[in-house]
Amino acid sequence: MALAGIGASPVPTAPAGYELVHNAPIGTVLATPQYREPVAVWCTMLDAARHSVDFEQFYVSGKSGEPLDTVLGCMERAARRGVKIRFLMEAKGIPMSDDATMTRLRAIPGLEFRTLAYARLTGDGIIHAKFFIVDGASAYVGSQNFDWRSLKHIDETGLKIDDPRAVRLLAAIFAQDWQAQAVVAAGGTVEPTNRTDILANDTGPATLVASPNAFNPPGIGDSQAELVRLLDAAEHEVRIEVMDYAPLDQERHYYGVIDQAIRAAAARGVTVRLLVADWNLTRAKEPYLRSLAVLPNVEIRVAKIPAAPEGEIPFARVVHTKTIEIDGKIAWIGTSNWEGGYLDRSRNIELVLRDPAMARRIAGMHDSLWTSAYAKPLDTAIAERRMAPGN
């Protein structure tokens, strides 16, 4: 993959301190050449590193000759310059990671690698956030996993962040999770930092929120409470793009926090357009999508990305972006799926930008997929899935 953005068209003006980053599955019409792709952004940041880079990721998966090779090469160059790299990964991500890439990662000179079983903190959760921090001065948060498929065969969205306050909060999250790993590894117990919901400070143009609330550092608001607050304040329209949506937790128990907020918005007359991936169409989740889709002011479409030119690729060719646009004023870009277990028990990061220009960009990407041949109304998508061979 070429490093898009090097010698490419100028990056559109963005809110101060934030650059929108997007990559679409190759072979589709969803490409956004006006935005840089993550490989270019990540390597530019790594090449500029002088002191430290801290990664927090779900899992690691590479393939020879594919985009993650380029990123690993940029990390190796940084390490040879004396940059200290720390890499924190979810323990449940180990079976999802390939041995060759893990070996190469851990062989980077001076890199300190740790795994944390996040369920040891919350009882049932994972590190699902995908972010890194460079020199305590810039950072990246997005839906892209540290996975070659995420960089080439999946629809993903993120943000390069140069806002000092947001970078400082991300550094606090990493520091807390890195320390939690040391405590857990020593057989200790990590006590919650928050016993009640902490509402975010929404007075500025940008707000970073995180989950789970119980283990957020001071000064960081709760993602779940912020999402409900934004939906409750919506007046005209809400465009949602997310891989998975269901009012269920991982054990299929009812989890209605977000669902109730969406239904309340629709009842007030807010137009809700929910775009989910075809992976969302399971027997457990489908009835809840149907019950939401029958409501006035709610429309649901399902996006199915066709196979890659070279054939089927497991765990790829899907929409994995997690964004919201509200009233043409607010953009939400994050790492969490909208099901129980993500915003209440797992580590995730979300950015709320009160900026009409960024809201228009998110709405534009949503509309591009919504109106494409890849997105079908819910009933049509369900019918086509049931008629597909093997179903």
Read off the DSSP letter of residue 333.
Answer: E
63 CB neighbour count, 10 Å cutoff: 16
Nearest to 199 by CA among 217, 172, 219, 171: 219
Token pair listed for 31 = 């490409």
Q: Under 8 Å CB-to-CB from 303, ≥6 apart: which residues?
A: 155, 275, 276, 277, 278, 319, 369, 372, 374, 375
Q: Residue 66 — pLDDT band, cuts 50, 70, 90? A: very high
Looking at the domain 18-165, which fold is it?
Answer: Endonuclease; Chain A (3.30.870)
Separation CA 260–CA 232 (nearest Å): 10
On the question of a cis peptide bond just before residue 212, with omega within 30 degrees of 0, the verdict is yes
| Tens digit of each residue's pLDDT (9 = 90 or more) over 234-266 | 999 999 999 999 999 989 999 999 999 999 999
Where do the structural domains in the chain lie, given as residue ranges? 18-165, 193-387
pLDDT of residue 5: 33
Token pair listed for 210 = 């995180």
What are φ and ψ of residue 49, in 5° steps?
-65, 140
pLDDT of residue 386: 78
Separation CA 20–CA 333 (nearest Å): 9
| Tens digit of each residue's pLDDT (9 = 90 or more) over 136-162 | 999 999 999 999 999 999 999 999 999
pLDDT of residue 389: 61
| Contact indicator for 116, 181 with CB cutoff of 8 Å | yes
pLDDT exceeds 80 at position 337: yes
Q: Rounded mean pLDDT of 115-134?
A: 97
Q: Residue 8 — pLDDT band, cuts 50, 70, 90? A: very low
Separation CA 84–CA 66 (nearest Å): 25
| Contact indicator for 93, 60 with CB cutoff of 8 Å | yes
| Tens digit of each residue's pLDDT (9 = 90 or more) over 259-318 | 999 999 999 999 999 999 999 999 999 999 999 999 999 999 999 999 998 999 999 999
| Tens digit of each residue's pLDDT (9 = 90 or more) over 75-90 | 999 999 999 999 999 9
Rg of the chain, C-alpha, whole Å: 20
Longest dimension (CA), the chain: 59
pLDDT exceeds 70 at position 390: no
* HSE-CB for 94 with a 13 A CA cutoff: 10
Total residue length of the chain: 391
* HSE-CB for 62 with a 13 A CA cutoff: 17
Looking at the domain 193-387, which fold is it?
Answer: Endonuclease; Chain A (3.30.870)
pLDDT exceeds 80 at position 191: yes
Separation CA 133–CA 213 (nearest Å): 21
On the question of a cis peptide bond just before residue 377, with omega within 30 degrees of 0, the verdict is no
What are φ and ψ of residue 357, in 5° steps?
-65, -45
Higher-confidence position of 248 and 384: 248
Token pair listed for 117 = 């079983």
Residue showing tokens 């409750």: 232
Higher-confidence position of 385 and 272: 272
pLDDT of residue 375: 98
